[in-house]
Amino acid sequence: MLETATRKPTACLALADGTVFYGIGFGVTGQTTAELCFNTAMTGYQEIMTDPSYAGQIVTFTFPHIGNTGVNPEDDETADPVAEGMVVKWDPTASSNWRAAEELTDWLSKRGRIGVGGVDTRRLTRAIRQQGAPHVALAHDPDGNFDIDALVKAARGFSGLEGLDLAKEVTCAQSYQWNEMRWAWPEGYKAQTNPKHKVVAIDYGAKRNILRCLASAGCDVTVLPASATANDILALNPDGVFLSNGPGDPAATGAYAVPMIQGVLDRSDLPVFGICLGHQMLALALGGKTVKMNHGHHGANHPVKDLETGKVEITSMNHGFAVDSQSLPDGVKETHTSLFDGSNCGIRMTDRPVFSVQYHPEASPGPQDSYYLFERFADAMDKRAAS
């Protein structure tokens, strides 16, 4: 099917079931395979593309105006794009924003990522919802020469995300310090110069804005690689431990992350706070289980209910696996659920300041609905110090 009938297609998206979408390519030329998901956010395409949690995935944007505000270094969540590629309805237009430092198309080209415009993203999104996140091959060739059979074969050959430990691919190579706080007008990003709490953050694919929120909450943050052990963490004598977001199958990452978390919990009374993959790691360490979702949750408009207060938060989400709330053991309470499908979005231990959420409080979709979680973490460290 030719989605862009008036122009020769220069990009092709082939699904493992043989469905083919044609469009106009941008970014780097070449070919890649990945799992396909869709994101419903109206803003933040740069943050989405640089979110390490999208490793191994191509993102379909349901909002058509992608690229119109350009890109700039301040909005990167990590150094380079991590998502394998992007699919959009309309070709990116010239940027029109005072913060724009570069065009999206040029940015993708320099960083080795493929984009395709002119695709019927409504039809594609319906296919993802009905069939589950498909395996796909995305190709960009300026001459429009595509071997469709080979692309479909490549899509079928993609192993999928189940069983993959992708955290080891996106984690930091060595430890580092972080003191940059959240962006504020007119100063921009300022440094935390008077921290109250010493926090160790485990990097399973940490977004920069999470680290900024920790710094803004009064934390002196030391980031350690995903492979860090309980001994590595406790040797730093922290006041609290943070478990970051990240990509891949939580059960695979849990092979080494779960023993570390259990070691920290067994040998200390430290407050622990987890987000996204960190939430799933904590649940596994406490005896719960995780499951692969049909098409996951990806967007900035997801309502989540706090079961303890009755409050509803508008949240940002990006996950394809979820904690099975029915598997949670005694002593672990479900605290938040999705109002879209009832899936688990938060847990806590009933007798210790150990808690986590599936969504992204640092992404500010509310815009400040969920920032209290960072303050709760800081309060828990205050109470521990006082006692």
Active site residue 172: no
Active site residue 345: no
Contacts of 153 (CB under 8 A, 6+ apart): none
| Contact indicator for 84, 32 with CB cutoff of 8 Å | yes
Q: For residues 40 and 125, what is the distance between their CA atoms, to the nearest angstrom? A: 10
Catalytic residue, chosen from 47, 276, 295, 336, is 276
Q: For residues 326 and 350, what is the distance between their CA atoms, to the nearest angstrom? A: 16
Residue type for position 112: G
Active site residue 375: no
- Respond yes or no on whether the N-terminal peptide bond of residue 81 is cis (omega within 30° of 0): no
3-state secondary structure at position 88: coil
Identify any residues that bridge with 51 across adjacent strands, giving them in sequence order.
none
Q: For residues 351 and 328, what is the distance between their CA atoms, to the nearest angstrom? A: 15
| Contact indicator for 304, 312 with CB cutoff of 8 Å | yes
Catalytic residue, chosen from 47, 313, 334, 362, is 362
Q: How many CB atoms lie within 10 A of CB 193?
A: 7
Catalytic residues: 276, 360, 362
